[in-house]
């Protein structure tokens, strides 16, 4: 029997679901975990894993758990090398980490969420970071406030799910207050937040702009709230300068 277009589409959807679950887990997963997480039929998951393992997209490890394979690393490396913003931003991030020994990131919006695209941690025993590629509610971040400046209040309300205004600790961010923060970030040309997604975290974000002047990404410092004012200002100055250099490209 010929494979229909709809069955092909379902197969692609299931491959995407497998990859997303592995990325969210950030660890190898058993077949049982993958079946439960994706909701796909047992036979389909086993078949897809076998095919993807054969071509190197997945690998079995240890107790027959499954994780990303070597081929995926090659594809990611190709993307990072040939995407001008990513490759250049990585060098900027490394320079900032070497100077300040603070976690530095390149962040972007992905649909109605925020995500870290690049991240380099400080060498200190205690550092503050977020996982690459994990989708986080926009109101939890300085970057989210900074990258929404081109939108009006109603567009922002339509974009962000209501539940995303509730922080991990149960505190609800007032929508009107959030809109004021977005406008302030637009006026200042940067955004700093303290104690939002982490009680001890200070986040600084500076915009990387496209040719039309719209913010498409942000360079961010993730540091502690006890950072003294003089160091904060020096970090912010260098962050803004680096973001402007990336924008000019």
Q: What is the span of the domain harbouring residue 142?
A: 83-248
Assigned token pair, 53: 């393992």
CATH code for the domain in which residue 24 is found:
1.10.10.10
- Give domain status of residue 229, yes or no: yes
Out of 73, 98, 124, a domain closes at: 73
User: pLDDT tens digit string along 11-59?
Assistant: 788 898 898 888 888 889 999 999 998 888 888 889 999 999 999 999 9
Angstrom distance (rounded) from CA 137 to CA 115: 9
Q: Are residues 62 and 129 in the same domain?
A: no
Q: Is the dihedral of CA 121, 168, 225, 240 positive or negative?
A: positive
- Give domain status of residue 78, yes or no: no
Q: Are residues 44 and 91 in the same domain?
A: no
| Chain center to CA of 222 | 13
Q: Are residues 135 and 54 in the same domain?
A: no
Task: Indicate yes or no: pTM above 0.85.
Answer: no
Q: Are residues 92 and 112 in the same domain?
A: yes
Out of 16, 50, 73, a domain closes at: 73
Give the mean pLDDT of 149-155: 93
Q: Are residues 13 and 87 in the same domain?
A: no
User: pLDDT tens digit string along 204-219?
Assistant: 999 999 888 889 999 9
How many folded domains does the chain comprise?
2
Q: Are residues 164 and 237 in the same domain?
A: yes
Q: Are residues 12 and 101 in the same domain?
A: no
Could you give the 3-state DSSP secondary structure of residue 24?
Answer: helix
Burial environment of residue 237 by CB neighbours within 10 A (0 to 12, 13 to 18, 19 or more): exposed
């Amino acid at each position: 029997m010929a494979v229909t277009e709809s069955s092909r589409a379902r197969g692609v959807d299931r491959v995407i679901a497998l990859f997303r679950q592995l990325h969210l887990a950030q660890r190898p997963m058993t077949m049982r975990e993958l079946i439960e997480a994706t909701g796909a039929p047992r036979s389909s998951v086993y078949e897809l894993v076998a095919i993807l393992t054969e071509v190197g997209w997945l690998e079995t490890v240890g107790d027959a758990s499954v994780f990303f394979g070597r081929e995926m690393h090659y594809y990611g490396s190709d993307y990072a090398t040939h995407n001008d913003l990513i490759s250049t931003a990585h060098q900027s991030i490394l320079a900032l980490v070497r100077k300040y020994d603070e976690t530095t990131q390149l962040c972007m919006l992905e649909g109605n969420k925020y995500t870290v695209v690049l991240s380099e941690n400080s060498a200190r025993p205690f550092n503050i970071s977020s996982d690459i590629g994990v989708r986080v509610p926009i109101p939890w971040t300085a970057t989210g406030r900074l990258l929404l400046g081109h939108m009006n209040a109603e567009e922002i309300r339509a974009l962000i799910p209501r539940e995303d205004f509730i922080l991990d600790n149960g505190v609800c961010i007032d929508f009107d207050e959030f809109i004021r923060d977005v406008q302030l970030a637009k006026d200042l040309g940067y955004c700093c937040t303290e104690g939002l997604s982490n009680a001890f975290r200070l986040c600084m974000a500076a915009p990387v702009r496209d040719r039309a002047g719209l913010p498409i990404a942000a360079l961010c410092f993730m540091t502690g709230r006890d950072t003294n004012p003089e160091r904060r200002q020096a970090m912010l100055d260098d962050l803004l300068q680096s973001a402007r250099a990336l924008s000019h490209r």
